[in-house]
């Protein structure tokens, strides 16, 4: 069954678009990455591809056609191997396109979708698309302020049962402490890795086997877990609250 995986963050720039792109690159079956950030798209500028065809043209066609292949018809194939529906860089144009797409979403008849929602604020029109998501990945920094903002969303949001957190960087907290504060599972801890981030940002060329390391490797762990689950749910480490904490990466080793 086709799956829709939404990716976003709460505040700042912890790398939601970068992780969404990595997820699309390593996804184990045909997938399209859709930029649904109402603040404007980044991938067109990163990789020098036009936004037409893209999100705006998809919105227009989706109002009149519902057949298979619609998502792919408006996607660009990046050199990294991902098919991407690019959003306009303009915020007002992107906001309008995301709003209209949420009103008339094309069917997922033959392809999985990774949805880059950008910042997950309450009034974001991207929530209309995420309402159909099988899983919502919230990308967060590991400093106290970032975790506070993330916890404010994940611990109380109506969609929290489908949420998991992707941590970017090292943390001094144990997994048990993080799950207790965030109220949802931690999907993966993404290591600081400038090389693969540069590739995913369009500023460096991909070398041999580059997806085996860093961000793509972490994304593959999540992709395989989501793909293997009939309900597209990541394992929920509830036991970590009652048993010795599973270590997560911290500065200088594990804790």
Average pLDDT over residues 175-183: 91
Tens-digit pLDDT profile for residues 200-255: 999 999 888 899 989 999 999 999 999 876 544 554 433 232 332 233 333 333 33
Q: What is the topology classification, in CATH, of domain 4-254?
A: Rossmann fold (3.40.50)
CA neighbor of 10 nearest in space, from 122, 134, 130, 150: 150
How far apart CA 12 and CA 175 sit, in angstroms, is: 23
Tens-digit pLDDT profile for residues 13-66: 789 999 999 999 999 999 999 999 999 999 999 999 999 999 999 999 988 887
Domain map (residue ranges) of the chain:
4-254
β-bridge partners, 192: none
Tens-digit pLDDT profile for residues 108-144: 778 999 999 999 998 999 999 998 899 999 999 999 9
In terms of pLDDT, which residue wins out, 189 or 247? Answer: 189
How far apart CA 36 and CA 117 sit, in angstroms, is: 5
How far apart CA 207 and CA 197 sit, in angstroms, is: 13
Kindly give, in sequence order, each residue whose CB lies less than 8 Å from that of residue 113, ignoring residues fewer than 6 positions away.
Answer: 2, 3, 4, 5, 31, 32, 33, 34, 71
Q: Which pLDDT value is given to residue 151?
A: 95
Q: What is the pTM of this model?
A: 0.88
In terms of pLDDT, which residue wins out, 160 or 45? Answer: 45
Tokens of 238: 């509830």
Q: Which pLDDT value is given to residue 242?
A: 30
Average pLDDT over residues 142-164: 91
Q: Which pLDDT value is given to residue 234?
A: 52
Phi-psi region of 69 (alpha: psi -120 to 50; beta: other; left: phi over 0): left
Q: Which pLDDT value is given to residue 83?
A: 97
CA angle 225, 230, 233 (to 5 degrees): 50
For every residue of 202-233, which 3-state class applies, written as one string?
A: CCCCCCCCHHHCHHHHHHHHHHHHHHHCCCCC
């Amino acid at each position: 069954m086709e799956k829709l995986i939404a990716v976003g963050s709460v505040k700042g720039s912890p790398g939601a678009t970068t992780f969404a792109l990595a997820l699309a690159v390593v996804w184990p079956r045909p997938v399209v990455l859709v930029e649904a950030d109402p603040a404007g798209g980044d991938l067109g500028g990163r990789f020098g591809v036009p936004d037409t065809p893209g999100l705006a043209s998809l919105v227009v066609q989706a109002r009149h056609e519902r057949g298979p292949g619609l998502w792919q018809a408006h996607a660009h194939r990046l050199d990294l191997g991902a098919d991407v529906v690019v959003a306009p860089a303009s915020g007002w144009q992107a906001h309008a396109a995301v709003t209209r797409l949420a009103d008339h979403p094309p069917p997922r008849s033959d392809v999985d979708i990774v949805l880059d929602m950008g910042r997950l604020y309450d009034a974001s029109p991207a929530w209309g698309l995420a309402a159909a998501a099988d899983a919502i990945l919230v990308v967060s920094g590991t400093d106290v302020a970032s975790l506070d903002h993330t916890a404010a969303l994940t611990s109380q949001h109506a969609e929290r049962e489908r949420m998991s957190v992707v941590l970017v960087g090292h943390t001094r907290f144990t997994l048990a402490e993080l799950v207790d504060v965030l109220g949802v599972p931690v999907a993966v801890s993404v290591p600081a890795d400038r090389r693969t981030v540069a590739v995913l940002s369009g500023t460096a060329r991909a070398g041999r086997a580059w997806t085996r390391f860093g961000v793509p490797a972490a994304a593959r762990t999540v992709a395989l877990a989501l793909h293997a689950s009939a309900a597209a749910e990541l394992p929920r480490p509830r036991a970590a609250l009652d048993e010795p904490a599973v270590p997560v990466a911290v500065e200088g080793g594990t804790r």
